[in-house]
Structure 1
Amino acid sequence: MRVFICLMLLLMSLLSRGLVAAEVEPASIQIKEQTWWVGQQVPFTVQLRAPGSFSGAAVFSLPEIPRVVIIKTGSPVVSSEEIEGKTWFVQTHDFALFSQQSGTVTIPEFTVRFSHKDGFTGPVHDQSAQVPAAQVKIERPPGSSAQDFLVTTDSFKLKERWDPQPGSATQGAVFQRTISQEADQVTGMALAPPPEAVPAGVRLYLGQPTVSDKTERGAFIGTRVDTLTYQLQEAGTWTLPAIRYQWWDPEKKAFGSQTLPAVAFEVKGSAVPVTDAPGEASPKSIYIGLVILGIGIAVIFWQRRRIGNGLRWIGQHWNSPKRVAARKLLAGCRNNDPRETQRAWQVWLNCGGVDSSISPELKAAVQELQRTLYGANQLSDWQGARLATAFRADQRADNKSGLNKQSALPALNPR
């Protein structure tokens, strides 16, 4: 009887230890409990736990929240902890949340996928876990409207540059204006765009903004550079109104502002040459085009076997996760659907479709997409053509650089 009781106690002990080990959460979220301001950076971390060393990069399916943007910051930090006498590997990921809505903002449960080994060796196991939901309290500064786009920072820098300097000019003259913003603890996509209102005799060409974030010794700095080109189309006196930028200082609990002064132009009239309309295509050019088309058809028929093999090879690689994500991204751009495009962009990044740097044009287009989702008018006027063009160009550049890397190898048997 005593032996039976001892065996039962031993079995219960083993079961209790197994339950404790099973209760170890593979994913957890940590956010500092305090009241944050609208537009302020809300840092939080996600910790992943595994019984062995991690392998590869974790893939997060970040949730979509109206008027809220979540970005990943920094690189993961790996550590370990002891739980019930067992060593667990811990991978900590840093994120930042920026909200333009006040009240209680809920971060819904979202999925993370990662891989790990058993201990330091052995096969790699793929694991999927749910990051628990969390809530953040957001407060709007007194005196601000719910429709206002608010930048919250304790350090804001603003400057502008003209080329050439504004003043007297002739009809048709062009002036370029560069406005630069920099703010601490704010993502560049959360900085305000310049107004587009101009007088009737002036035409504005708004360039693609350059938006970037950088971390420097723990500091988080966001920048936005806008390029505005003004063409003086009609003679007369034209005045560009002053531009006022406002932000909320969470330390002083007060608003700050800086104004770019109004600019006046004295435009003198001048004769504008009329450009001749392009002529129609000549019969000779049409004949040459038909000949080229015929040659192309003949070449295709001659090389039909190779072309067929190539198409079959393409079909085998067409449904990889990276290619599927790219197709969904371009489809979202065609449909002008910012949410679908952002979801596809995040999946494309998680599939390892981007290296340490992307082109400035693609980066600015993605920031514009995220700015649309983050701002007050989030789904009304976003157009996907700019992002689609930049994405295709970046893909072509990556393919070209890959070919250059292969051709740069030395000959196997040099003479």
Structure 2
Amino acid sequence: MNLRILPILLGLFTLWLSLANFALAAEPFARATLATKGTIYAGQQVEVDVDVFVPNYFLAAPQFPLFDLPGAVVAMPDDRGMNLSETVDGAAFSGIRKTYVITPQAAGDYVLPPVDIPFGYAAVPGETTQGRVKLPALRLTVTAVPGGADGQAGVTAAKVTITQAFDRNPASLRAGDALVRTVTVHAEGLAAMMIPEPTFEAAAGVQVYVHDPVLSEDRSDRGEFRGGVRKDTATYVFAKAGNYAIPAITVQWFDPTVGKTQTAEAPGAKVSVAAAPANATALAPPSPPPEKAPFDWQWWGAALLAVTALALLIRVAADLAGRIQAWLDEARMRRAQSEPTAFHRVDEGCRSGDAQRFEAAIDAWSRKTGNIPLARWLDRFADVETRAAFAEHQRLLYRSAQNTAQKANLLPLRTGLRRARRLWLEQTSDDEPAPANELPDLNPALGAEPREA
């Protein structure tokens, strides 16, 4: 060996050792950021972005948990996580972001609890390392709504609108008629369950029947959440003739962008109820009453029995139709939520060649069957080629934005995953009980004896 190149080789070897030690020293970390800017008020919906970073790339996506935060409502939209990449002290990190939606109910300070976020990543390329990080202790300072009671939450939203509709003209009713009023409240940036229930009032002599509300979400064409929608329906029954007034329905809401309390209103209505038509009376002298025919008890008895039998038949037919429909709906739901259907989506993801679609399908199947982490299941049931193909897919999916033109070939995974699933079913069908029915029995047995504790 030429002695002149020996120092160069030793320098390169030392540099390689230092880089390897630096890569091994890199550790996963989490970061929490308050996405909602400005002053936070009680009742306002707040978005918190939580990022999880790992060196190299993920091999099992982070499991972001829902957590309890006293005095606040915590939710997580079903939106897919955002992939991130970042360089920290010269080391490349891959990250995934999820957004929590927190609605504080009163003024004060709120601190995120230190819950665990587990995941799998490639600390050493090609090998799965199980890791976990703590949710950062982000502090939220919530201010009371100006004019609110004891700092409690009212309605805090970007905008609230109310619309209403009547099923008929309120000025053309007769005694005994019913008037149906439908009130729809739309709140931008606020969940539907946080919209308060409107109050339906009526004057004396008017009966009001309030129906169950219908809650929904307003989303854009791209599926982005824009606000909540609450629809309430009430039926007014007018037993007597007269003029009545149906009060307006108002909702006060606080606009955090301008710092003022606004009012949305569904206007009241005036109702005019005419008397029911009376029987006409004859002007000529009344004629002698006709001779009454004897009452036919047998005919009326037969008619009553026929009507009763027809009503019972209609009732039984309607109940049978409802039971059949419910059974069909339950069967379709069972099939849609079954393990074969979930694995069929995995097979379709392989055939499509879409890495994102395949990742979502295999993640959903592993969660449903309890095979978490998936890498452990692959190590037990999959062959070497299948594990290598899956590792290559994970590397290309979660790595930082380098060689973006290179895509994993998912077709080798299709046959390998089928064989692994067949082996898994053969080994688990005899020693593991069948999964419990996720839906309650449609017709529980009457008079069943209670189970002993």
State if a TM-score over 0.5 links the two structures. Answer: yes
Distance in 1 between residues matched to 2:62 and 2:180, nearest whole Å: 44
TM-score, with length taken from structure 1: 0.55
Pairing 1:258–2:261 present: no
Q: Of 81, 86, 99, which aligns to 1:76?
A: 81
Letter in 2 for 1:28: R
| Superposition pairs of residues 150-169 of structure 1, within 5 angstroms | 150-169=154-173
C-alpha displacement at 1:45, in angstroms?
0.5
| Superposition pairs of residues 3-82 of structure 1, within 5 angstroms | 17=22, 20-22=25-27, 24-25=28-29, 27-31=30-34, 35-54=39-58, 58-73=62-77, 74-82=79-87
Instruction: State the secondary structure of the residue aligned to 2:157.
Output: coil
Distance in 1 between residues matched to 2:178 and 2:61, nearest whole Å: 49
| 1:236–1:136 CA distance, 2 compared to 1 (3 A) | farther
Distance in 2 between residues matched to 1:212 and 1:259, nearest whole Å: 21
Distance in 2 between residues matched to 1:80 and 1:72, nearest whole Å: 23
Pairing 1:193–2:197 present: yes
Distance in 2 between residues matched to 1:212 and 1:264, nearest whole Å: 32
Q: Which of structures 1 and 2 has the bigger CA Rg?
A: 2
| 1:93-145 deviations in Å (ceiling 9; x for gaps) | 122222221111222222334444567x7465554432122210111132121
How many residues are matched?
287
Distance in 1 between residues matched to 2:265 and 2:111, nearest whole Å: 36
| 1:169–1:224 CA distance, 2 compared to 1 (3 A) | same
Which residue pairs with 2:92 in the alignment? 87
Which residue pairs with 1:184 in the alignment? 188
Instruction: State the secondary structure of the residue aligned to 1:189.
Output: helix
| 1:67-107 deviations in Å (ceiling 9; x for gaps) | 42223244311122223443221011122222221111222
Q: Of 189, 212, 220, which aligns to 2:217?
A: 212
| Superposition pairs of residues 264-413 of structure 1, within 5 angstroms | 264-268=270-274, 351=367
Higher percent of residues as strand? 1
Unpaired segments ≥5 residues, structure 2: 1-13, 278-303, 314-333, 343-363, 370-437, 443-453
C-alpha displacement at 1:186, in angstroms?
2.4
Letter in 1 for 2:72: V
Which residue pairs with 1:242 in the alignment? 248
Unpaired segments ≥5 residues, structure 1: 1-8, 286-313, 323-347, 354-390, 397-415
- Contact 1:102/1:139 (CA < 8 Å) preserved in 2? yes
C-alpha displacement at 1:220, in angstroms?
4.7
Distance in 2 between residues matched to 1:236 and 1:114, nearest whole Å: 70
- Contact 1:194/1:226 (CA < 8 Å) preserved in 2? no
Q: Of 227, 232, 235, which aligns to 1:227?
A: 232
- Contact 1:187/1:221 (CA < 8 Å) preserved in 2? no
C-alpha displacement at 1:173, in angstroms?
2.7
Give identity over the alignment, percent: 20
Which residue pairs with 2:139 in the alignment? 135
- Contact 2:174/2:241 (CA < 8 Å) preserved in 1? no
Letter in 1 for 2:52: L
- Contact 2:42/2:151 (CA < 8 Å) preserved in 1? no
| 1:159–1:280 CA distance, 2 compared to 1 (3 A) | closer
Which residue pairs with 2:352 in the alignment? none
Distance in 2 between residues matched to 1:84 and 1:37, nearest whole Å: 38
| 1:217–1:261 CA distance, 2 compared to 1 (3 A) | same
| 1:347-376 deviations in Å (ceiling 9; x for gaps) | x9x9569xxxxxxxxxxxxxxxxxxxxxxx
- Contact 1:170/1:270 (CA < 8 Å) preserved in 2? yes
- Contact 1:59/1:113 (CA < 8 Å) preserved in 2? yes
TM-score, with length taken from structure 2: 0.51
